[in-house]
Structure 1
Amino acid sequence: MNMKRTLFWIVGPLALVPITAALAVSANGDTPMLDTLERGMWQLRSSGNNEPTTKICLGKPESLLQIRHSGLACEQYVVRTTENSVTVSYTCKGEGQGLTTIRKESNRIVHIQSQGIRDNAPFSFSVEGRKTGTC
């Protein structure tokens, strides 16, 4: 075995570690689209069914990523981000997981689709979020 081939077998597999780590990027700071949303009172209206409208005071736009796991410290990973949308996968140890896509129509209107597991049961929903005022 020549020296180059020997180095590949020693270093080669280790060289993949940074690539793998780069795929698991935390959503904190990696979702610039969310920073463009206006802060204040938002109304979340369900799409396609008669669920009641929900109101939230949006201080941290990242809270829109895990509506069904609100207030829980969850590990978040950015799956895809563009200028007007973001998809994030998250896992809340012992509490469930989810996958959320937020599409921005304007700084005051978003469309959110989320699905996952909460309390050992599946959930799936679509809502339209609109800024309605101040908190």
Structure 2
Amino acid sequence: MTKSLNWRRGALFASCVLGAPALAVAAGGMTALAPLERGRWEVRDLDGGGARPAICLGDPARFVQLEHAGPACPIEILQNGKGETTAQYSCAGRGFGHTHIRVETPRLIRIDTQGLNNGKPFSYRLEARRAGSC
């Protein structure tokens, strides 16, 4: 009985510690992104790669992890100032990323991101602009 209770306490502690970065972001930990308007956002590559699929934005933290689609990975906020934020994330078994976002207006942002996705490096500059409702 005592072993079971200790194991449960350990599991609860681990889930709180490991899940804290993702929860902080979901709860609005990146105040620089708070003014962004929700809705449909068009994303284009500033280095000549063209347009990317549009995003129906609910949580602005989604812009941090554009390269690793799917479930949100734990995010660590490195810098969170007025109008800009820098964060890094790590997706177990899939890779990691380092992203800097500059908020130009509540409808326009610039994104610089780089990292490793499934063993392949990525690095690009993007512009995202709100284009309407979802």
TM normalised by structure 2 equals 0.78
Q: Per-residue deviation at 1:71?
A: 2.1
List per-residue Cα deviations over 1:24-74 (Å, max 9, x = no partner): x72513201212100000000110213333311011111101001122231
Aligned length: 111
> Which deviates more, 42-51 or 27-36?
27-36
Q: State the distance in 2 between where 1:49 and 1:122 align.
A: 18
Instruction: Report if aligned partners of 2:44, 2:52 keep a CA contact under 8 Å in 1.
Output: yes
Matched AA of 1:50: G
**Alignment partners' CA distance in 2, 1:60 and 1:70:** 14
Percent identity, aligned pairs only, is: 36
Does 2:124 correspond to 1:125? yes
> Is the Cα–Cα contact under 8 Å of residues 101 and 113 in structure 1 kept in the other structure?
yes
* Contiguous gaps of at least 5 residues in structure 2: 1-19
Q: Provide the C-alpha distance between the structure 1 equivalents of 2:49 and 2:72, rounded to a whole number of angstroms.
A: 30
In structure 2, how many angstroms separate the alpha carbons of the residues matched to 1:78 and 1:98?
12
Q: Is the 8 A contact 1:63 1:70 kept in 2?
A: no
Q: What does residue 21 of structure 1 align with?
A: none
Gaps of 5+ in 1: 1-24
Deviations 1:66-114 (A, max 9, x none): 0011222311101111110000010001110000011000000000010
Partner residue in 1 for 2:103: 104
Q: Retained in 1: the 8 A contact 2:73–2:91?
A: yes
2-side partners of 1:32 and 1:50: how far apart?
29
Cα separation, 2, equivalents of 1:89 and 1:120: 17
* Mapping 1:24-63, distance limit 5 Å: 26=21, 27-28=24-25, 29-63=28-62
Which protein has the larger Cα radius of gyration, Structure 1 or Structure 2?
Answer: 1
